[in-house]
Amino acid sequence: MKDDEGKLILVVEDNLTNLDLLSSLLEVHGFRVLQTTTAAQGIAAAREREPDLILMDVSLPGMNGLEALALLKEDPMTEGIPVVVVTAHALASDRKAAMRAGCAAFMTKPIDTRSLIREISHLLLQEQKTLRVVRDPIGRKSGLYKTRKTGRARKQ
């Protein structure tokens, strides 16, 4: 089994065809998938479920994906989750805006499925390397936690 199999990926995409295609691709590669169709739903799902990675479209109804990304990066509960922006906006200025907002990777549609899976696996491996073991919040010796580099505790 690959190290990234079974990891939870949140897909935030309002186009149902794209949502189904991305979800199917991820599931075929062993990932668990959580789907939302708006930025607000995506933020709520990220806070509640703490996915290992988020795929975020930019053009979403209501709040756009870059605004959602900025909010995720400001929140201590979600700031350490890598976000891959997936968009039809292919200009260099779009890429710069996404990187400024805090995305870990930027991919344009139509998606090259091999590149997407390779990028996700790379980011999850990188994320795994940034996990560290620390004492529990009370400082007891017996309770060890793994935490993202942001300090968010996750009991293992």
Question: 64-120: per-residue pLDDT in tens?
Answer: 999 999 999 999 999 999 999 999 988 888 899 999 999 999 999 999 999 999 999
pTM reported for the whole predicted model: 0.81
Number of domains in the chain: 1
Residue 90 sits in which domain range?
8-130
Kindly state the percentage of the chain with pLDDT values over 90: 71
For 123, the token pair is: 């980011």
Tell me whether residue 74 is in a domain. Answer: yes
Flag whether pLDDT at 130 surpasses 70.
Answer: no
Tell me whether residue 22 is in a domain. Answer: yes
Tell me whether residue 126 is in a domain. Answer: yes
pLDDT value for 4: 65
Residues contacting 117, CB < 8 A, separation 6+: 25, 29
For 17, the token pair is: 């065809």
Tell me whether residue 145 is in a domain. Answer: no
The three-class DSSP label of residue 15 is coil
Q: Mean pLDDT, the chain, as a whole number?
A: 85
Q: Within the chain, where are the H helices?
A: 16-28, 39-49, 65-74, 92-101, 113-130
For residues 133 and 117, which has the higher predicted lDDT (pLDDT)?
117
Measured CA to CA, the distance from residue 87 to residue 95 in angstroms comes to 10
Flag whether pLDDT at 43 surpasses 90.
Answer: yes
Stretch 43-64: mean pLDDT = 97
Tell me whether residue 3 is in a domain. Answer: no
Tell me whether residue 2 is in a domain. Answer: no
Q: What is the CATH number of the domain that holds 63?
A: 3.40.50.2300
